Structure 1
Amino acid sequence: MNRQSTRPSRNDRKTHDRLCDAAERLRDSVNRLSFDEPITHIYNPLDYAWDLHQCYIRQVSSQAEVLLLGMNPGPWGMAQTGVPFGEVAAVRDWMGIEGEVGSVEHEHPKRPIEGLACPRSEVSGRRLWGLMQEQFESPEAFFQKHFVLNYCPLVFMESSGRNRTPDKLPAEERDALQECCDEHLRDVLSLLPWKHLVGVGAFAENCLKRVAGDNASSAQISRILHPSPASPAANRDWAGTALAQLQSTGVW
């Protein structure tokens, strides 16, 4: 269950139901896809961490107007918690989300699924949610106007355990995945009164431009630096850089 200080309104509950329905459609559509080597292991947290993902969706308000979009789950973040950029401590201790996750049928020995008991910390998630904790006094205050989403729900791994991001897939596989994920993003964009669409990194920004452009959305599209430690720029005061970007574009 999740910790909420107020009872959700009828509009909130309707929004939650529609977002869950959209996530279910995404889950089922990507599960029908196939991927070849060098991909050897695929995790879909919308399957085994579905209960936690639903708890996360129930945090958002029907008046949310800022969407922050990431690429896909990291092995120690959403892969464990079902929450985008889902660093365990932020999900468990700040959002107050609790629950168990199921098992993965074809689990990589170097990437075990341990749920909220996972001792590893997702650096990207620690940075992103850490900024939100600094700027908002409670998760309720954040989710009143904000929602964080991943474009793709799947984790792709090679035999070594190395992560492979969706943009590195062969064209045919990438196009099939894009069709599913674009449809889900299109659904999400239609469900809430978005004013700002923020790509967390260039890949996500391009997805927003492509899909929001199709929808003739009036929301402003912008980008913040991705918090991944693989980015040298992100290792030099990522929070300060992201804060300045959000302020300069009028998001905050």
Structure 2
Amino acid sequence: MAAETLIKAARKLSKAVDRLQFSEPVTHVYNPLAYARRSHEAYLSMIGDDVSVVFLGMNPGPWGMAQTGVPFGEIAAVRDWMQIDEPIGRPDNEHEKRPVEGLQCARSEVSGRRLWGLFQEKFETPEAFFAKHFVLNYCPLVFMEASARNRTPDKLPAAEKTPLDSVCDEHLRTVLKAIKPEHAVGVGAYAEACLRRVVKDIDEPPQVSRILHPSPASPAANRDWAGTATKQLCEAGLW
């Protein structure tokens, strides 16, 4: 039942964000919920019946979910570990420096490699991980400037960020109510803030905590990120 609710909610979110408008310096917007829908829904279908921990990221990376439709979707983790192999289309307004090549993409997203690498090491099989855990993204869109530079949602002007937050909050609220996790973990400070805002409107809210974001742009993440994240999850009483 949770998978059906998540798929329905993702389709609604995809249509809602497609109606939004974004201006320069953003010149290209990718929506993997649309062009990688089959892959994304295959991922959502992997959720277990008794998930107690949800991890939340900010938005897709150009070499991760933008390619695979899976949150933090590093190619090898999606193809080889999760065994997801669905046709992936291309965005309408594709930047020549950020082509969507799907599972044939030769680039590897470091954040996704670190996150899913930790889960593979601890749980070994996807069935063991997904029985109690799930990973989501707050915003489904990828934003790029003319140079192909990535632009994160927190850098959008208020006039664009407010309506985006509204539909993403509604989606996250729907998903958390469907899954009913005991814990919700923000992967980074931005995702944690989104969780804390949304759980205020949930009758039986999950306990919110945070782990260090695995981005290589963070000096702290480049010093044993897996060890740091594991320690944070242990301290929060999750592992």
Q: TM-score range by the shorter chain?
A: over 0.9
2:162 to 160, 165, 175: 175
Q: What are the residue-to-residue correspondences of 1:131-170 with 2, within 5 Å?
A: 131-170=118-157
AA matched with 2:28: H
The C-alpha deviation readout for 1:5-47, integer Å capped at 9, x for no partner, is: xxxxxxxxx2211110000111010000000000000000000
Structure 2: distance between partners of 1:159 and 1:116: 25
TM-score normalised to structure 2 length: 0.99
Instruction: Report which stretch shifted further, 59-68 or 148-157.
Output: 59-68
Q: Please list the CA deviations of residues 45-75 of structure 1 after superposition, one character each: whole Å capped at 9, or x if unmatched.
A: 0000000001100111121110000000000
SS in structure 2 of the partner of residue 35 of structure 1: coil
The aligned residue for residue 236 of structure 2 is 249
Give the letter for the 2:216 counterpart. Answer: P
Match of 2:43 among 50, 56, 73: 56
Q: CA deviation at 1:223?
A: 0.1
Residue of structure 2 equivalent to 1:237: 224
Q: In the TM superposition, what whole-angstrom CA distance separates every residue of 1:162-204 from its partner, at most 9, and x where no partner exists? A: 0000000001100010001000000001101310000000000
Matched, 1:119 2:106: yes
Whole-angstrom distance in 1 between the partners of 2:83 and 2:56: 22
2:144 and 2:169 map into 1 onto residues whose CA distance is 22
Q: Deviations over 1:53-112 (max 9, x none)?
A: 011001111211100000000000000000000000000000000122112211000000
Q: Secondary structure at the match of 1:214?
A: coil
Alignment partner, residue 101 of structure 1: 88
Deviation at 1:118, TM superposition (A): 0.4
TM-score by length of 1: 0.94
Distance 2:11 2:160 in 1: 21
**How do 1:66-105 residues align onto structure 2 when only pairs under 5 Å count?**
66-105=53-92
* Residue pair 1:100, 1:116 contacting (<8 A) in 2 also: no
Deviation at 1:137, TM superposition (A): 2.0
C-alpha distance in 1 between matches for 2:205 and 2:70: 27
Letter in 2 for 1:58: S
In structure 2, what is the Cα distance between the partners aligned to 1:185 and 1:193? 12
- Report the secondary structure of 2:200's partner residue: helix
Of 18, 23, 27, which aligns to 2:10? 23
Separation in 2 of the partners of 1:216 and 1:238?
34
Structure 2 residue corresponding to 1:205, chosen from 189, 192, 196: 192
Cα distance 1:163–1:229, how it changes in 2: closer, same or farther (>3 A)? same
Partners of 1:92 and 1:192 in 2: how far apart? 25
Say whether 1:214 aligns with 2:201. Answer: yes
Unmatched 5+ residue regions in structure 2? none
The answer for the alignment partner of 2:176 in structure 1 is 189
Q: CA RMSD in A?
A: 0.7
CA distance in 1, matches of 2:86, 2:201: 37
Structure 1 unpaired stretches of 5+: 1-13
1:217 to partner: Cα distance: 3.3
Deviation above 2 Å: which 4+ runs of structure 1? none
1:216 Cα deviation (Å)? 3.7
Counterpart-to-counterpart distance in 1, 2:55 and 2:142:
19
- Range with bigger deviation, 57-66 or 195-204: 57-66
